Amino acid sequence: MTQSVVVQVGQCGNQVGCRFWDLALREHAHVNKRGLYDEALSSFFRNYEGICWGHILTYLHPQAVLIDMEEGVVHGILQGPLREVFDSTQLLTDVSGSGNNWAVGNLMYGSAYRDSIVNKLRKAAEHCDCLQCFFLIHSMGGGTGSGLGTRVLSLLEEEFPDVCRIVTAMYPSAEDDVITSPYNSVLAMRELTEHADCVLPVENQSLVDIVNKISLMSHDAKPGCVLKKESTVTSGQGGVSPTERPFDAMNNIVANLLLNITSSSRFDGSLNMDLNEIANNLVPFPRLHYLVPSLTPLYTLADVNIPTRRLDQMFSDAFSKEHQLIRADPKHSLYLACALMVRGNVQVSDLRRNIERLRPSLPFVSWNQEGWKTGLCSVPPVGHAHSLLALANNTCVKPTFMELRDRFTKLYKKKAHLHHYLHVDGMEQSAFSEALSSLSALIEEYHHLDATKARLIPDAPRLSIAR
């Protein structure tokens, strides 16, 4: 059984991470009735005495490193109900924060805390029998998350080159309250393109839309049709924290995303899908590793006998615009590859039937017409009978990146706020132009692939065999 380490950086990263650990404990409590430390738990937690399977849980430690340059959020976690779960050696905090400045986070704190960060990462890795993956959670708009987070990413690549790095990055929406977020995001994007194995971009605005949609559904539900409120993808009910704070619903969605991605490597299933298979199958060219996630179902009705139609609806929803975690419409852009990770009582015939049903409406790139990677896990998530996570490597990320580039150039043309960055030791103006050209090159690559969308590409001539 492989282990994963979660590294949460910055305010956003730590808040999402906190929800993740809460929901992970809830899920394992649901599945693991006898309270014994088993293989599934060992992928994210270690038992106090070290890895001894079959022993009663004495003291669970999550395999995590929490980093923030101001103390408020981490201290909040340590005073909340999860305080007994983390120990102080997993935390790294400072006092003053990064001031929403990527350069401060990446260069100033990055070099000051380099050794300390590497030590904590190494310690977390040593506890693992077989470390498979680092999950990095941070936002792109702030200073610590984007700056220090991407610095941690490059440290992970240096120190642990063989371990997969999956980054969950929270992209800012257009109406973000941080003025320098375009600078921070584009500077961080360059690091993500170079050093990450996979990036799961998530946009705040999509999360807000999904949460609003769910609360609308539960208010407008038809009479006689009871909506199970506690089984939505956004609810933390049944977890450790008693009350729900603002942003919790949105963060729960991202936490559920991470739980679903790792479900097949933790639990049994008829067609397993490990984390290393994700990068291997979904990333056709090294820089195009941005996978758009979408989670369904978002809510369940209280009826127990779920007819096949509802199952098929789940599959259709996964490809609709409203369920994607970034503002994009994958159905009208080109698919390079798509992964479907199903949990619960779904059989291979349901999966094949739905793939055949939906395939004609989805444009796939010419050299990967059957670009599906499928996984079946038998354990459903808490509160649902089955669920589907779709990860699409799709050119619909291009408009998102182009918008980001536009917001960046608007500020950069006027050199607004630039002096805050250039004041930091080691930061030069060339960093900005390089980041901009890296982003442009990425957009160009997606554009090239998009251009092949409507064209009918003939089969490449086959090798001729000597007779």
Q: What is the binding site for other proteins (CB under 8 A)?
A: 1-2, 39, 129-130, 132, 268, 270-272, 274, 276-277, 279-282, 285, 337, 347-350, 352, 355-356, 359, 365-374, 376, 459-460, 462-463
Could you tell me which of 255, 341, 253 has the C-alpha nearest to residue 298?
253
Nearest-approach distance from CB 371 to other proteins, in angstroms: 5
Nearer to other proteins, 177 or 459 (CB): 459
Q: Kindly tell me which of 14 and 394 has the beta carbon lying closer to other proteins.
A: 394
Taking the complex as a whole, the smallest distance from the CB of residue 40 to other proteins amounts, in Å, to 10
Residues in the chain: 467
In this structure, are strands 198-203 and 227-228 parallel, antiparallel, or unpaired?
unpaired
Closest CB 393 distance from other proteins, rounded Å: 10
Minimum distance between the CB of residue 200 and other proteins, rounded to whole angstroms? 18
Smaller CB separation from other proteins, 48 or 367: 367
Three-state secondary structure call for residue 80: coil
Q: How far is the CB of 264 from other proteins (least distance, A)?
A: 9
**Distance in Å, CB of 132 to other proteins, minimum:** 6
Q: Which residues does 157 contact at the CB level (< 8 Å), separation at least 6? A: 165, 195
Closest CA to 421 of 93, 107, 68, 12: 107
Q: How near is the Cβ of 425 to other proteins at its closest, in Å?
A: 41
Q: How far is CA 419 from the centre of its chain?
A: 33
Pick the closer one to other proteins by CB: 104 or 351: 351
Q: Which is nearer to other proteins, 127 or 213 (CB)?
A: 127
3-state secondary structure of 218: helix
- What is the C-alpha separation between 383 and 27, in angstroms, rounded? 10
What are 47's strand-pairing partners?
60
CB-CB neighbours of 130 under 10 Å: 9
Task: Give the residue with the Cβ less far from other proteins, 318 or 435.
Answer: 318
Query: What whole-number distance in Å separates Cα of residue 456 and Cα of residue 398?
Result: 22
CA pair distance 104, 111, nearest whole angstrom: 10
Which residue lies nearer to other proteins by CB, 255 or 351? 351
Cα–Cα distance for residue pair 458/450, rounded to 1 Å: 17
Strand partners, 201: 169
